[in-house]
């Protein structure tokens, strides 16, 4: 019998209304089981690991990512797949982080949750949970169909490090602007094999050391020198710079000087676009040629979530700045199109 481990971290899927305050508060997984009697009809051997205390996903951090990755690694030989119930607000960050931490992954790790609590009449939680379990259990000739860290939400399966949460009100809360979906749930489960990433058939390796000493510089018309230098002259080891269009910035002399000084001081600067779709192309326009010349790293079409977790991951591996910069521009887990 297929064995699946459900890891319950918290999130809207496991919330109920507090009759005294009207606020949503978490409850335990036993109550989820009572609200989804269909679980008993699935022909899977299900085990549950509940976090204690249950977490709001706004409190997610690298230590908890390491716990999640450790649970998966320590039980990897026992289970055919893993389903993580997680709050949607930081789900894409967790999925991206896990994709980098679990090297040589050959089993499904499917994150899901819901926009409405599981006890609500119109909840999306039941379908998301049941289909996530089916995806985690699906094999082809004894091999997992989806040997990746993924997000399943509202009938679509996304590569975890390609997904973003774009809507806080619709059931279709996630999308993948720069990569096709991996599967779709209709009358049948349809898997799109051409887009599924298969890592080398080697033992799973856990790499859970992260360095979070990273700053974020988001450009906007009218940004001033004081604001920019508050980031570029800070003690961070790396900066993610959210630029315009295909990687363009202002060419004001004070701005270029601030970036050059930051690079000379040993900071890694990664250029990603503020646009959800498309890719950074350093040097395509005059406004980004100087960035390319001074050694700014291209984030290509990575999401912000993938960029920051990848940078945390690489900086935590004891690599040189040159090695980190080089690997940031390479696809490690299908997170970018170079």
Quote the tokens at residue 202.
Answer: 């080697």
12 catalytic? Reply is: yes
Q: Is 277 exposed, middle or buried (0-12, 13-18, 19+ CB in 10 A)?
A: exposed
Cα angle for residues 144, 150, 156 (degrees, 5° grid): 100
Contact (Cβ atoms closer than 8 angstroms) between residue 274 and residue 242: yes
Q: Compute CA distances 139 → 69, 112, 161, 192, 326, whole Å.
A: 22, 19, 22, 14, 35
Catalytic residue, candidates 2, 9, 12, 250: 12
Mapping DSSP onto H, E and C, the string for the chain reads: CEEEEEEEEECHHHEEECCCCCCEEECCHHHHHHHCHHHHHCCEEEEEEEEEEEECHHHCCHHHHHHHHHHHHHCCCCCCEEEEECCCCCHHHHHHHHHHHEECCCCCEEEECCCCCCCCCCCCHHHHHHHHHHHHHCEECCEECCCCEEEEECCEEEEHHHCEECCCCCCCCEECCCCCCCEEECCCEEECHHHCCCCCCCCCEECCCCCCCEEEEECCCCCCHHHHHHHHCCCCCEEEEEEECCCECCCCHHHHHHHHHHHHCCCEEEEEECCCCCCCCCCCCHHHHHHHHHCCEECCCCCHHHHHHHHHHHHCCCCCHHHHHHHHCCCCCCCCCC
The residues pairing with 240 across neighbouring beta strands, listed in sequence order, are 216, 270
Give the catalytic positions in this structure. Answer: 12
């Amino acid at each position: 019998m297929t064995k699946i481990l459900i890891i319950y971290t918290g999130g809207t899927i496991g919330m109920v209304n507090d009759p005294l305050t009207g606020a949503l508060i978490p409850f335990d997984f036993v109550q989820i089981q009572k609200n989804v009697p269909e679980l008993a009809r699935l022909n899977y051997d299900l085990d549950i690991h509940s976090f204690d205390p249950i977490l709001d996903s706004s409190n997610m951090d690298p230590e908890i990512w390491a716990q999640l990755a450790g649970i998966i690694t320590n039980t990897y030989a026992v289970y055919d797949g893993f389903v993580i119930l997680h709050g949607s607000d930081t789900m894409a960050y967790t999925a991206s982080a896990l994709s980098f931490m679990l090297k040589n992954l050959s089993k499904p790790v499917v994150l899901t949750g819901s926009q409405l609590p599981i006890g609500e009449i119109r909840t999306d939680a039941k379908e998301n949970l049941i289909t996530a379990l089916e995806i985690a259990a699906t094999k082809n000739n004894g091999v997992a169909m989806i040997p990746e860290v993924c997000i399943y939400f509202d009938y679509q399966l996304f590569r975890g490090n390609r997904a973003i949460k774009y809507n806080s009100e619709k059931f279709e809360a996630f999308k993948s602007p720069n990569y096709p979906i991996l599967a779709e749930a209709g009358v049948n489960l349809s898997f799109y094999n051409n887009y599924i990433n298969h890592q080398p058939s080697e033992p799973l390796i856990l790499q859970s050391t992260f360095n979070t000493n990273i700053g974020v510089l988001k450009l906007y018309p009218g940004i001033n020198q004081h604001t920019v230098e508050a980031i570029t002259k800070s003690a961070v080891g790396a900066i993610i710079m959210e630029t315009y269009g295909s990687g363009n910035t202002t060419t004001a002399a004070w701005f270029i000087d601030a970036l050059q000084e930051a690079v000379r001081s040993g900071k890694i600067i990664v250029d990603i676009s503020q646009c959800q779709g498309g890719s950074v192309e350093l040097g395509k326009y005059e406004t980004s040629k100087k960035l390319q010349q001074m050694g700014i790293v291209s984030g290509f079409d990575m999401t912000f979530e993938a960029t920051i977790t990848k940078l945390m991951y690489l900086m935590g591996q004891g690599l040189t700045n040159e090695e980190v910069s080089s690997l940031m521009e390479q696809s490690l887990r299908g997170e970018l199109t170079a």
